[in-house]
Each structure stands twice: as structure tokens, then as C-alpha cells.
């Protein structure tokens, strides 16, 4: 390698940077242009590029990974490239014999007539027929590999989609269970919480119906449980009333009972802690009434003890 | 020469391990030029490379396979050192050899020998990948380090297909780099492995640009002198 870096003809030329490819494209082009004009500069640049490339050899060689999928892909791509070029050459050669009829020209061929109708095979790009054949086979093999890989990829995608659906289902079920659990907790808290007032209701008839109102004052939740209420006639319903100390009658809803005379009514109504005086149940039209009209079947007084 | 951790001296590698011999079988299967077992030293290895590139230019996949087997450990080592991520390295190595395959027809001996051409492509593709990763992840030079901490890493002979000559050459280059004054070696490694321009190096090292230019020029002068013994950079 020459040692003429300090020669006058190189003064001011950033040849080291050019060899490293570290110049802006415009400057790099200027250096390349000077090198194209001056063989001495070109030789200097070539020598510097060799020095730069040599630095790369200081890196520790790393063997290919087991299986080396990259090598397989690379060779498959090359085989496909060869097959594509061969096909392109074949397409181009289909035109050649037509031209030959008007202007016969000697052309390189791999001619080995087997019969009178054997066609002349033009030599394409100096590629022997058996190389083209091997390349075609390789291309076919690589195509099969690609198709197989695509099939596997599609199968994996489908499996992944199914797993995602299953995951969503499980997530939904979990959320549903958590919601139910939360509702149960709320219901339980409505009748057992520390701030729940209980009003006992006693029957006013010979029948032994009974009821109990749980008033969760912190959450303004009302839970009424009745037992042994008689079955209702069609078009009739029981009505639950909250009667305040000012004798205001607040409808808490209508309800029916099951075959055992049992009913559970839940309601939400925000009432001042000391406003409740009485809880009552009457029988009313199923469509409901603004004020109680029927006989009182159950009644309970909210005593100071029960609502503290 | 660099003292190796296994205490072995260089050069090493016998005829049985010679890369030209190993690749002769590939060359023999080609339709253009056959490489015989006599092409086993110095210019013979260059002839193997030229033959393989010529055959690749003529669309011979076997030549690509042979060339890949011959050079991929070296290319992979360089790419890994620049990129830093094994997964990215595999992709870059594949792209390097794909570019070789596609550009074999344009290979120009006047612009440098085959290994120079190959290593230039490998470095360029690796720097592209490293820069892309840096842009994507906004990394702070984690992978684009100067590589000086790995300068002493040497491979085991068993790990590569053609260990003798490569190890000899690698030791020579590593020794030449180590022989440089630290401040000169630093700018060379930053320029080569991190792909930094001299302005970027000056900024990174907080040095005047002129100082970086001077150090680079001096470093290259010494490297050329030290590596003059390498008639070619063949495997």
C-alpha cells in the first residue's frame, strides 16, 4: 500500500472520511468525481477503503445459529430469483424464432435433435438447460416451502384468534361473577350492615302473615321481606308504604307473593333518619295508587330503638 | 500479533482446514470455472472469491451457498458487533448476502477485492439497521458504542470454517488497532463501528473538529503501514 497521503494532489480532500462513508452525500460525490478524474486519487481511495474494510476483521467471527434459517431463506430467494429470470428469458425467447425467419442469424444453441419435430432451444444467458431445470425444481421446492409456511402461519393465526375469543369469554365470565358477588355483598350489607334499621311488621288479621323491613340508611336501600301473605286475586297487588312522622305516605312499590306467600321487595329512597314513623302494606289495584286505599294488612312502627 | 488467551501462537491452521480447499467442491460443481485444490494459498483464496462472485453473477445458487458458508461467520461477527442484537443480526446477514447475490454482476475489482466489497456492504447494512433501531427506540448509543471493550474478544478456532488464515488476519488487524495511541484508536472505532462522522465524533468527545481530523489521518497512516503485510484481505 502506498504512503502518499501527504502528496500535494490529495491536499484538502477528505479521503479518510470518504473511505469510511462518513461524508455528506454531496461531499462524497465530489470526492468520487475527483477520483474518477485522477487515477492517483482513485488508487489512494481504494487503498484507504481496503484499510477501512480490514478494521472489520477485528470483530470476532460468529458461527451461524443452529439450523441457520437465514441461509435457507437466502438460498430459496436465490433459487426463486433464478427461476424468475429463467421464465423471463423463456418469454423473451419465444419472440426470437419469429425474427429469425426474416433475418436468419447464427445463435448459440444447445441443439440435440431427437426427432424431426424437436425444437431448437435457444441458449439463454449462457445458462445450460440442466441448470435451468435444477433452478426450476429449486423454485418449485421453495414455493412449496413458502406455501407450507403460509399454511402454518394461517393455522397459527386461527389458533391465536380462538385463544383470544376463549380469553375474552373467560374474562366476561369472571366479570359477571364479580358483578354477582358484588350484588350479593350489597344485598347482604342491606340487611346486616351496622347502619341497618329493622322494623317488625305484625299481622292485623287472623292470618299469620309477617314482614320485616331492613332500612340501610347509609345507602338509602330498603329491603322488605314478607311471609304468609295470602294469594292475590287477579288485578290486585300488595303495596308497600313508608309513612313519615308528618303522615306523608310514600309508595315504595307494589309486589306479589309466591305460592308460599313470600315476597322480597327492594327499593331505594333517601329518607331522613328520623322521618320514618310507620311501614305498612295494603292491598291495592295492580296498577298502583298514589295513596293507600285498601285495608292495612301489615303495619310496623319505627321505634326509636329500631332505627338507632 | 496479539497474545491470545489460549496461549496459541499465530499463524495457525493447516492444509486440512484451508478455506480454499473447503470451497473447491462448490466451485467444481459450477459451469464456469472450476477451482482445484492447487488454489489453496494467498492468491488462490482470492481466486476462489472471484470465481464464486463470477458464478453468482451468472445466477448460480451453489456459488452463493459456498460464498455464504465461506464468509458468513466473519460477516455475522461484524454485523453483531455493530448491531448488537442477535435477532437483527440474522436478518442483516441475510440481507448482506442477498445484496451480494443481486450485485455480483456489478462487482468491480478496480474498486477493491472481494472481501473489501463484502465487508463494505456488511458494515453499511449493519449501520443502517443500528441507526434505524436507534431512531425507533431513541436509544442513547447503547448499541452504537465504540466497541473498544470488545476489542480483545477473539474467537475460538473451532467456531469458524476457515480458522487459520482468518485468525491470523484478525490478530494482525486487532494488533494494529491496539498499537494505535488510545485517542487515535477511539476516533477510528467510533467512525467504523458506530458510523459517526468526524463532526459527530468531535461533538461526542468534546474535541475540536480539527483534532478529530488529525487523529483520524494519523491513525489511518499507521494502520496502512501496519496492515501493509496483508496483500489481500482474503479468508
pLDDT tens-digit profile, chain B (235 residues): 333 333 333 333 333 333 332 232 222 233 223 333 333 334 457 788 899 999 999 999 999 999 999 999 999 999 999 998 888 899 999 999 999 999 999 888 777 789 989 999 999 999 999 888 877 765 444 444 444 444 444 333 333 345 455 667 788 888 889 889 999 999 999 999 999 988 899 999 999 999 999 999 999 999 988 887 665 444 4
Q: How many angstroms separate the Cα of B90 from the Cα of each of A77, A151, B97, B151?
A: 15, 24, 11, 22
pLDDT value of position B161: 40
Whether residues B154 and A60 touch (CB distance < 8 A) is answered with yes
Beta-bridged to residue A276, according to DSSP, are A244
pLDDT, tens only, A125-148: 456 677 778 888 888 888 888 888
A109 touches chain B (CB under 8 A): no
Q: What is the distance in angstroms between the Cα of A124 and the nearest Cα belonging to chain B? A: 11
Residues of A in contact with B124 (CB under 8 A): 21
A141 touches chain B (CB under 8 A): no
Which residue, among A22, A62, A69, A134, would best test binding to B if mutated, counting the most B CBs under 10 Å from its CB? A62
Whether residues A54 and B170 touch (CB distance < 8 A) is answered with no
Q: What is the distance in angstroms between the Cα of A110 and the nearest Cα belonging to chain B? A: 14
pLDDT value of position B2: 32
Backbone angles phi, psi at A148, to 5 degrees: -65, -40
Whether residues B123 and A56 touch (CB distance < 8 A) is answered with yes
For B94-131, the three-class secondary structure string (H helix, E strand, C coil) is HHHHHHHHHHHHHCCHHHCCHHHHHHHHHHHHHHHHHH
Q: What is the distance in angstroms between the Cα of B137 and the nearest Cα belonging to chain A? A: 23
pLDDT value of position B77: 94
The C-alpha atoms of residue A84 and residue A78 are separated, in whole angstroms, by 10
Helix (H/G/I), strand (E/B), else coil: A128: coil
Residues of B in contact with A126 (CB under 8 A): 58
Q: How many CB pairs under 8 A join A and B?
A: 166
Which residue from A14, A23, A50 is facing B233, i.e. has the nearest CB?
A50
* CA neighbor of A256 nearest in space, from A277, A276, A231, A273: A231
Whether residues A63 and B150 touch (CB distance < 8 A) is answered with no
Q: For chain A, which residues score pLDDT lower than 50?
A: 1-8, 95-125, 305
Residues of A in contact with B105 (CB under 8 A): none
| Nearest residue on chain B to A53, alpha-carbon basis | B116
In this structure, what DSSP letter does residue A178 have?
A: H
Residues of B in contact with A132 (CB under 8 A): none
pLDDT value of position A127: 60
Whether residues B170 and A17 touch (CB distance < 8 A) is answered with no
Does the complex come out with an ipTM higher than 0.90? Answer: no
Which residue from A42, A63, A74 is facing B94, i.e. has the nearest CB?
A74
| Nearest residue on chain A to B178, alpha-carbon basis | A58
pLDDT value of position A123: 40
The C-alpha atoms of residue A236 and residue A234 are separated, in whole angstroms, by 5
Q: How many angstroms separate the Cα of A7 from the Cα of each of A12, A107, A252, B79, B218?
A: 11, 53, 106, 35, 14
* CA neighbor of A211 nearest in space, from A300, A303, A294: A300
Sign (positive or negative) of CA dihedral A133, A134, A140, A146: negative
Whether residues A126 and B174 touch (CB distance < 8 A) is answered with no
Identify the helix (H) or strand (E) that includes residue A202. Answer: strand A196-203
CA angle, corner A197, sides to A195 and A203, nearest 5? 165
Q: What is the distance in angstroms between the Cα of B72 and the nearest Cα belonging to chain A? A: 7
For chain B, the three-class secondary structure string (H helix, E strand, C coil) is CCCCCCCCCCCCCCHHHCHHHHHHHHHHCCCCCCCCCCCCCCHHHHHHHHHHHHHHHCCCHHHHHHHHHHHHHHHHHHHHHHHCCHHHHHHHHHHHHHHHHHHHHHCCHHHCCHHHHHHHHHHHHHHHHHHHHHHHHCCCCCCCCCCHHHCCCCCCHHHCCCHHHHHHHHHHHHHHHHHCCHHHHHHHHHHHHCCCCHHHHHHHHCCCHHHHHHHHHHHHHHHHHHHHHCCCCCC
Which residue from A49, A64, A128 is facing B72, i.e. has the nearest CB?
A64
Burial of A163 (0-12, 13-18, 19+ CB in 10 A): exposed
CA angle, corner A175, sides to A174 and A177, nearest 5? 65
pLDDT value of position B121: 94
Q: What is the distance in angstroms between the Cα of A65 and the nearest Cα belonging to chain B? A: 9
pLDDT, tens only, B71-82: 999 999 999 999
Amino acid at each position: 500500500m502506498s504512503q502518499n497521503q501527504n502528496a500535494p494532489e490529495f491536499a484538502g480532500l477528505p479521503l479518510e472520511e470518504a473511505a469510511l462513508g462518513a461524508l455528506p452525500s454531496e461531499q462524497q460525490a465530489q470526492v468520487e468525481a475527483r477520483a474518477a478524474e485522477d487515477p492517483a486519487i482513485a488508487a489512494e481511495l481504494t487503498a484507504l477503503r481496503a484499510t477501512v474494510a480490514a478494521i472489520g476483521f477485528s470483530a470476532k467471527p460468529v458461527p451461524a445459529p443452529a439450523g441457520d434459517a437465514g441461509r435457507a431463506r437466502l438460498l430459496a430467494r436465490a433459487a426463486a430469483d433464478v427461476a424468475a429470470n429463467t421464465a423471463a428469458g423463456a418469454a423473451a425467447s419465444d419472440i426470437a424464432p419469429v425474427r429469425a425467419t426474416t433475418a436468419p442469424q447464427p445463435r448459440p444453441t444447445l441443439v440435440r435433435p431427437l426427432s424431426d419435430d424437436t425444437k431448437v432451444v435457444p441458449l439463454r444467458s449462457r445458462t445450460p438447460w440442466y441448470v435451468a431445470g435444477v433452478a426450476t425444481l429449486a423454485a418449485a421446492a421453495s414455493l412449496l416451502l413458502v406455501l407450507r409456511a403460509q399454511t402454518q402461519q394461517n393455522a397459527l393465526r386461527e389458533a391465536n384468534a380462538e385463544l383470544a375469543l376463549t380469553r375474552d369469554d373467560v374474562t366476561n365470565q369472571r366479570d359477571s361473577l364479580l358483578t354477582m358477588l358484588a350484588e350479593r355483598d350489597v344485598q347482604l350489607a342491606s340487611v346486616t350492615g351496622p347502619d341497618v334499621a329493622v322494623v317488625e311488621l305484625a299481622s292485623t288479621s287472623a292470618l299469620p302473615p309477617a314482614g320485616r323491613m331492613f332500612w340501610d340508611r347509609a345507602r338509602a336501600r330498603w329491603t322488605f321481606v314478607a311471609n304468609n301473605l295470602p294469594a292475590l286475586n287477579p288485578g290486585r297487588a300488595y303495596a308497600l308504604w313508608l309513612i313519615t312522622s308528618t303522615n306523608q305516605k310514600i309508595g315504595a312499590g307494589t309486589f306479589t307473593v309466591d305460592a308460599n306467600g313470600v315476597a322480597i321487595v327492594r327499593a331505594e329512597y333517601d329518607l331522613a333518619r328520623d322521618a320514618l314513623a310507620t311501614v305498612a302494606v295494603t292491598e291495592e289495584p295492580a296498577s298502583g295508587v298514589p295513596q293507600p286505599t285498601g285495608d292495612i294488612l301489615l303495619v310496623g312502627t319505627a321505634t326509636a330503638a329500631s332505627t338507632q | 500479533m496479539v497474545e491470545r488467551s489460549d496461549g496459541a501462537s499465530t499463524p495457525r491452521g493447516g492444509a486440512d482446514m484451508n478455506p480454499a480447499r473447503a470451497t473447491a467442491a462448490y466451485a467444481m460443481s459450477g459451469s464456469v470455472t472450476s477451482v482445484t485444490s492447487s488454489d489453496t494459498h494467498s492468491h488462490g483464496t482470492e481466486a476462489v472469491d472471484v470465481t464464486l462472485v463470477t458464478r453468482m453473477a451468472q445466477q448460480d445458487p451453489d456459488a452463493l451457498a459456498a460464498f455464504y458458508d465461506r464468509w458468513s461467520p466473519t460477516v455475522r461477527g461484524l454485523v453483531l458487533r455493530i448491531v448488537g442484537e442477535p435477532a437483527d443480526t440474522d436478518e442483516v446477514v441475510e440481507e448482506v448476502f442477498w445484496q451480494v447475490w443481486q450485485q455480483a454482476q456489478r462487482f468491480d475489482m478496480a474498486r477493491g477485492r472481494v472481501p473489501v466489497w463484502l465487508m463494505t456492504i456488511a458494515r453499511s447494512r449493519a449501520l443502517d439497521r443500528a441507526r434505524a433501531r436507534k431512531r425507533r427506540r431513541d436509544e442513547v448509543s447503547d448499541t452504537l458504542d465504540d466497541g473498544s471493550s470488545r476489542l480483545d474478544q477473539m474467537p475460538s478456532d473451532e467456531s469458524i470454517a476457515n480458522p487459520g488464515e482468518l485468525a491470523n488476519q484478525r490478530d494482525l488487524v486487532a494488533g494494529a488497532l491496539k498499537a494505535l495511541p488510545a485517542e487515535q484508536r477511539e476516533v477510528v472505532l467510533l467512525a467504523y463501528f458506530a458510523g459517526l462522522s468526524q463532526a459527530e465524533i468531535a461533538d461526542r468527545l468534546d474535541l475540536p473538529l480539527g483534532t478529530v481530523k488529525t487523529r483520524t489521518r494519523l491513525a489511518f497512516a499507521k494502520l496502512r503501514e501496519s496492515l501493509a503485510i496483508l496483500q489481500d484481505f482474503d479468508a
